[in-house]
Amino acid sequence: MKTCKKIAAVLLAAAMLLSLTACGQGEADAAPSKIDEIKEAGVLVVGTSADYPPYEFHAEVDGEDTIVGFDIAIAQYFADSLGVELEVVDMTFNSLLISLAEGEFDLVMAGLTPDEERKKAVDFTDVFFVNEQVVLIRAEDAEKYQTTEDLAGCKGAAQVGTVQMDIAADIVGEENTVGLVRFTDSIMELKSGKVDCVFTNTLIASAYEASDPELMVQDVGIEYENTGFAGAVQKGNEEFVEYLNGVIAEMQEKGLIEQYVAEAQQLAGVEDAAA
């Protein structure tokens, strides 16, 4: 009887030891959340393509070249809410989501439209701003291009990786769509006469119109199911997305996003751009 009791006690002790070991192993294996990782690092790393005023662009602030814009102001609010510093990494637009997937950033803020194709690769925050699709043309062509039908068969430029590439292909034809890595390159192509229009949205177009009398915004009646703009994070970070959505709701309630848009427009030289 004593022997049986001893064996039972040993088995019970072994079971308890295995249970404790398993618990300890589970705790060790539990990966920290994205929010914990950011707080531990003390920095929120945001990827952008700073050639898209007033969303994100370079400007001289206190004598220094600085990346500004309302996307960046929103990112700064995210960083402040997390209690960390903000680091902004500038690269070409079509490389942003690839670099995000590889873990180079915590977040991408770059005038991103959360379309279905992109949702396969990344997770998006709630939409925080909605805009309309227009074209930039040379001011001298104001009478020439007034409708989408007028643009049929013309040369149209758009930034590679944007929804405007698809819009351009639908209106001017895929064979007449010129994809360029930098948005500023499309402006140069337009001014030099190599393309007839640049596909973009009202905020972007208004910024360039305000800074260059040779250019003008033309609403040609583009029909597009506009899903607005949002931030992007690596796939599978639901907790981080939920956190950011809460911060976005807080900013909207305070009217901060409208304020950031207005400030960015002014900094980009746009006094009264269409929203």
Q: At residue 147, what is the residue type?
A: T
- The residues, ordered by sequence, that sit 6+ positions from 183 with a Cβ below 8 Å of its Cβ are 49, 51, 52, 93, 159, 200, 204
Query: Percent of the chain beyond pLDDT 70?
Result: 86
Residue 62: CB atoms within 10 Å: 5
Query: Percent of the chain beyond pLDDT 90?
Result: 74
Q: What confidence score (pLDDT) does residue 54 get? A: 92
Q: What confidence score (pLDDT) does residue 35 get? A: 96
d(CA 76, CA 249): 15
**DSSP 3-state helix, strand, coil percentages of the chain (rounded to 5)?**
45, 25, 30
Per-residue pLDDT tens digits for 221-252: 998 876 689 999 999 999 999 999 999 999 99
Instruction: Assess whether pLDDT exceeds 80 at residue 15.
Output: no
pTM of the model: 0.76
DSSP-derived pairing of the beta strands 64-68 and 197-201: unpaired
Q: Mean pLDDT across the stretch 135-142?
A: 97
User: Which of residues 181 and 6 earns the better pLDDT score?
Assistant: 181
- C-alpha distances in angstroms, 37 versus 126, 209, 241? 22, 42, 14
Q: What confidence score (pLDDT) does residue 125 get? A: 97
Domains of the chain: 34-130+227-267 (3.40.190.10), 133-218 (3.40.190.10)
Please give the order of strands across the beta sheet that includes 56-61. 51-52, 56-61, 64-68
d(CA 86, CA 67): 12
Per-residue pLDDT tens digits for 180-215: 999 999 999 999 999 999 999 988 898 899 889 999
Phi and psi for 178 in degrees, rounded to 5?
Answer: -105, 115
